[in-house]
Amino acid sequence: MNQKLDQILSNYQQQISNCRSSSDLEKIRIELLGRHGLLNQLFTDIKSSPDPKSAGQQLNNLKHKLENLIKNHPINTTVTPDALKAKFTINQPIINPKITSLPKLGHLHPLTQTERQLNQLFQSLGFSIYDGPVIETDEFNFERLNVPSDHPARDMQDSIYIQEPKYLLRTQTSAIEARLLSQEKPPFRVAFPGTVYRNEKVNRSNHFIFHQYQAVVVDKNITMKDLIGTMDLMFKTLYGPDVVVRYRCKYYPEVEPGVGPDMQCFSCHGQGCPLCKGAGWIEMGGSGIIHPKVLQKAGIDPAVWRGFAFGMGLDRWTMAKHHFTDIRTLMGGNLAYKPNL
């Protein structure tokens, strides 16, 4: 295994060093680190290795080395005299020579900060980042997720339709999951953030525009242990090792069994307050083992493949991380939060 990985590193070191343009470098990055790239294939193959743990560590080391080579490779660009002249004929702002440094202008939105932190976590675990349309069809938003036309989730007061009954604004990132299952062949590990829309009454804990973060894994011999372990890691990464979390059995039509993770309220620390509606706990999302019917609708044999999925309320995760007590703070024009710099 070591010899094979050393050969891969040597070959791509040479290819990267020969890159003279950003497009050539991007081709190599996709070839190595893309969803269908060489490293993802190697991570899949290590399950048949005599020592998967050791092989996984070696692969992670190789991945980090290649990422650093790509990130740090300088791209030489040639500037023609005409281009250089054009560059300096543009009006330049007048700089006061007494000012030795410019102030920092703006910062990333707290939602973006949390999303990027989660993306980084899941990419380090070998996940790809996926996306899907905001305007969704009934088929992918409901039917393929085991939500037939007579299911309570179809309540017209909950969904925002563009063209009833076929097109609507997606009500959950599970719609992206439905497209993923229909388009990709297992095994795969994928995460995806997204904006969702529901006809909700706006208050301190709910909004009609909100955000979710979802992850899906489909492989052989997936169990609830894999799901709980992944979510525990996510909670501890964002909130530290002392975070208090509980898991309750819950019903979701697209999974069986279903689990709802709750985190102890960060505002009242379990005592009960308006934010947690007196419960002392805040529901952070839903999860479970993917229902066999959902796999079947996507053409995946549930006798061979199993998977888990979870969808978390990214707004609530961000509120807990930054100790906001009103979700409207995130979506309003008044920047009432302090930047996390």
**pLDDT per position in the chain (341 positions), as tens?**
677 888 888 888 888 888 877 778 888 888 888 877 888 888 888 777 778 778 878 888 888 888 888 888 776 544 444 544 444 344 444 455 555 555 566 678 889 999 999 999 999 999 999 999 999 999 999 999 999 988 887 776 689 999 988 999 999 999 999 999 999 999 999 999 999 999 888 888 788 899 999 999 999 999 999 999 999 999 999 999 889 999 999 999 999 999 999 999 888 888 998 888 889 998 999 999 999 999 999 999 999 999 999 999 999 889 888 888 888 888 776 655 554 43
Copy the structure tokens of residue 284: 């952070």
Interatomic CA distance for residues 220 and 187, integer angstroms: 8
Let me know whether 139 and 287 are in one domain. yes
Q: Do 120 and 37 lie in a common domain? A: no
65 and 115 in a common domain: no
Is the domain of 133 the same as that of 68? no
> Of 26, 42, 72, which residue sits at a domain end?
72
**Number of domains composing the chain:** 2
In this structure, is residue 80 part of a structural domain?
Answer: no
* Residues 296 and 154 reside in one and the same domain: yes
Long-range contacts of 219-224 (CB under 8 A, 24+ apart): 219/186, 219/187, 219/188, 219/189, 219/305, 219/306, 219/307, 220/187, 220/304, 220/305, 220/306, 221/306, 222/289, 222/306, 222/307, 222/308, 223/289, 223/306, 224/257, 224/259, 224/289, 224/308
Residues 65 and 117 in one domain: no
Q: Are residues 155 and 272 in the same domain?
A: yes
Among 25, 43, 72, identify where a domain stops: 72
Q: Tell me, yes or no, whether 274 lies in a domain.
A: yes
178, 118: one domain: yes
Q: Is residue 78, in this structure, part of any structural domain at all?
A: no
Distance, CA of 303 to CA of 295 (rounded, Å): 10
The whole-angstrom separation of Cα 304 and Cα 28 is 33
How high is the pLDDT of residue 1? 61
Whether 96 is in a domain gets the answer: no
Indicate whether 163 belongs to any domain: yes
Residue 130: partners with Cβ closer than 8 Å, 6 or more residues away: 176, 180, 190, 191, 192
The reply to whether 246 falls in a domain is yes
Do 169 and 257 lie in a common domain?
Answer: yes
Examine residue 217 and state whether it is found in any structural domain, yes or no. yes
Angle (deg, nearest 10), helices 314-322 and 110-124: 110
Domain that residue 317 falls in: 110-331
List Cβ neighbours of 204 (8 Å cut-off, separation of 6 or more).
Answer: 274, 275, 325, 326, 327, 328
Q: What is the Cα–Cα distance from 250 to 289, expressed in whole angstroms?
A: 12
Q: Tell me if 149 sits within 8 A of 137, measured CB to CB.
A: no
Closest by CA position to 340, among listed 317, 318, 314:
318
**Amino acid 24: pLDDT:** 83
Question: Are residues 156 and 283 located together in one domain of the fold?
Answer: yes
CA distance 193 to 313: 10
Query: What are phi and psi for residue 181, nearest 5 degrees?
Result: -60, -35
* In a shared domain, residues 49 and 163: no
Residue whose tokens read 């979390």: 245
126 shares its domain with 51: no
> What is the residue-wise DSSP string for 142-170?
TGGGT--TTSGGG-TTT--EEETTTEEE-
Per-residue tokens: 99 = 């000012």
Evaluate whether residue 62 is within a structural domain: yes
- CATH number for the domain spanning 154: value is 3.30.930.10
From 72, 95, 119, the end of a domain falls on 72
SS3 content of the chain, % helix, strand, coil (to 5): 40, 20, 40
Q: Are 310 and 213 in contact (CB under 8 A)?
A: no
Which token pair is 292? 């066999």
